Chain A
């Protein structure tokens, strides 16, 4: 590996995005659950849910702040680090980027109003209504940004004329072939991840047995049910993503599956490693399943990596990224289903320690799946930045100072990450749920023993 400006440019982008996506995912999903909790609280007249919404939104403020500053960094870095890419692609993808900013604007305004007006309105539902534009704004901004990323994978909506884009159709560019599946998968994955993170919080609180048990159990029930719904939806969308890949970007799927030669009834390869002759060893083989993943038919033909010129093949280690993501997805479906089934048996206590531990790790695992998924999607696109039109080498900045900037941003993210953890800890440790319940809703005390 050579550390030239191109490599460092890639690293700085990867670093910023990997850091940003944690907060972006929370930013897309948390508003939905805040809104749900407040709605349930109003409907059931149960202040436990209102307190849930309040406490989640208090933590949310801090994640939003970091999402905003790192997102601002990306918005600028796209031009600073990839000036040639933006000069070319800006002609086609400016529209969704522009609309995304409007969505942020909209979301930011209503979030500000929501946070500071808990007790200012007379109508029961007025404050809840303000959460809807926040949920909508967060979701739609994810949609817009995802169309940009889809465009990089399956460029559409223009013709090439002397190295410049001509006959540009911005709407067609947004609705490029990979956009629909990818949007569904990204949104589903975000809601899933946030449900899992919130379940993790509740599970840990129950494990520590500090009190307010019925409050945390309500949170757990609501979030685990959501994990189940969204993990199934995400898996379906992911399956559709793979079918898109098989058709439009076969080299990415082939690299992920170590599928070197085109064949019918292709096997799905799980884990394993490559020996010196580039043969797969130690793997788990699911016969015919790759054909099924690619085309929904066990007999169908799947294009192998040989069909792609050697210098246009993505690195083979993306295999592990793909496998890890899918495994985590399966784990989340399994654990949430198990919880829901067991909770149907009245005599069985679902809140056994092993169950709580498994739920406690689902949040971090889901976040890892998001990271693995993105790394797979982005690295699997190599060497292209704009598949078929521009390579990463051609797109990067020529400034030698990029190395210094890399270390400056690395330091910044370390500081931000540390302060983030410290602040969240302080915020909730100094004011745990049981204390706040006692203070604001003393009437709820009985029933605590359940």
Chain B
């Protein structure tokens, strides 16, 4: 395998990891707010804050890891995306800051005010919306370079059907992933009223997820034919994704094996995400950043891969410890510890 292929695979894996853990977090924010508005916060919000409080920082590091990693492996991405994304990424940063401080100020400070709950719920949807713009840009046609100046056509982006369907897909996916995780967590905690509520949410958000996925495919076919045709060639990967989706839906519907149901959801997104990425290969930004010509020099690539392996050897045991203490410790989940 070439260095650029190892690099992009690792980074894609981390981005996938971020999408799963962040979805749980973002969606939970929305659900917490929704439950408060519909006066059901006593049913679920305890559950939500118990899981989220210890892990939100870890979630954030996933994002930083991906960004630092992609700029390290492919320095050209700093030039093109850095120049073009100033506005949307700055918005995302401000939203992330508001959200991050929510935990500090509300959970440790005082009682939960309505304003902050609203911000918490709203940022949960707006951050993924702002970040997912990067996927739209990678399809090409929005960023152009002339006389050494990279610019982004903001109006074209704002009126692009592809962009809005990607944004909508991001939001509904988050709600689906989050609800199915909370269903699993509620079943671990053996909290029946919460379980029934979040299970209903999971079933509800399944349909829009699949509809938006198809809509995005159609919009993509009009924007980047190469990418779309590659995706059709990889039909079997997307087939697997759909199969796992159906499995999770069936389990949720029958109301058993919630752990397996959540794993199926994870696999559904795993295959869809990797199929999407493989079809975009070899471009990181169509047509400016070709993966092979933008990769960093050999010694840096080797150093980064070595650091990555070393880092994983440290991290995996610690992550397992974290999960055993909080996620899989049934007494903790139940609120006894």
Contact = CB atoms under 8 A, between A and B. Distances in A.
A98 B69 contact: yes
A320 interface: no
Interface of A: 58, 61-62, 64-66, 68-73, 75-84, 86-88, 90-92, 94-95, 97-102, 104-106, 108-113, 115-117, 120, 133, 165-166, 168-171, 397-399, 401-402, 404-405, 408-409, 412, 416, 419-420, 422-423, 426-427
6 contacts: A70-B97, A75-B64, A91-B296, A94-B73, A97-B71, A98-B68
A90 B90 CA distance: 21
Interface string B46-77: 00000001110110110111011101110111
A105 to B, nearest CB: 5
A91 B300 contact: yes
The 7 closest A-B pairs by CB, nearest first: A94-B72, A65-B104, A90-B75, A83-B82, A86-B78, A79-B82, A102-B311
B232 interface: no
B58 A105 contact: yes
B86 A62 contact: no
B155 interface: no
Contact of A120 (B71, B98, B337): B337
Given A68-B57, A77-B93, A405-B90, 9 more contacts: A66-B100, A72-B63, A86-B75, A105-B61, A105-B65, A113-B322, A398-B149, A408-B94, A427-B109
Contacts of A97: 68, 71-72
Nearest to A89: B75
A102 B65 CA distance: 8
Contact of A168 (B86, B94, B98, B300): B300
Contact of A427 (B75, B78, B108): B108
B303 interface: yes
A438 B319 CA distance: 37
B273 interface: no
A65 B104 CA distance: 6
A109 B71 contact: no
Interface of B: 53-55, 57-58, 60-61, 63-65, 67-69, 71-73, 75-83, 85-87, 89-91, 93-94, 96-98, 100-101, 103-105, 108-110, 149-151, 296-297, 299-300, 303-304, 307-308, 310-311, 314-315, 318-319, 321-322, 325-326, 337
A328 B104 CA distance: 32
B114 to A, nearest CB: 16
Contacts of B63: 72
Contacts of B149: 398
Contacts of B97: 69-70, 72-73, 412, 416
Nearest to B109: A423
Nearest to B57: A108
B303 A170 contact: yes
A117 B325 CA distance: 9
A62 B82 contact: no
A20 B213 CA distance: 39
Contacts of B303: 95, 170-171
B102 to A, nearest CB: 9
Residue among B67, B89, B299 with most chain A CB within 10 A: B299
A86 B61 CA distance: 20
Contacts of B82: 79-83, 86, 397
Contacts of B93: 72-73, 76-77
Given A79-B82, A169-B299, A101 B68 contact: yes
B117 to A, nearest CB: 15
Contacts of B337: 120
A402 B75 contact: no
A41 B330 CA distance: 31
A95 B304 contact: yes
B100 A405 contact: no
Contacts of B304: 94-95, 98
Nearest to A115: B54
A58 B78 contact: no
Contact of A68 (B53, B60, B108): B60
B104 A61 contact: yes
Given A106-B315, A401-B86, A79 B78 contact: yes
A62 B57 CA distance: 12
Contacts of B85: 80
A394 B73 CA distance: 22
B69 A72 contact: no
Given A75-B64, A79-B82, A408-B94, A62 B321 contact: no
Contacts of A83: 78-80, 82-83, 150
B65 A66 contact: no
Contacts of A58: 108
A170 B325 contact: no
B108 A69 contact: no
Given A91-B75, A105-B315, A409-B94, A111 B57 contact: yes
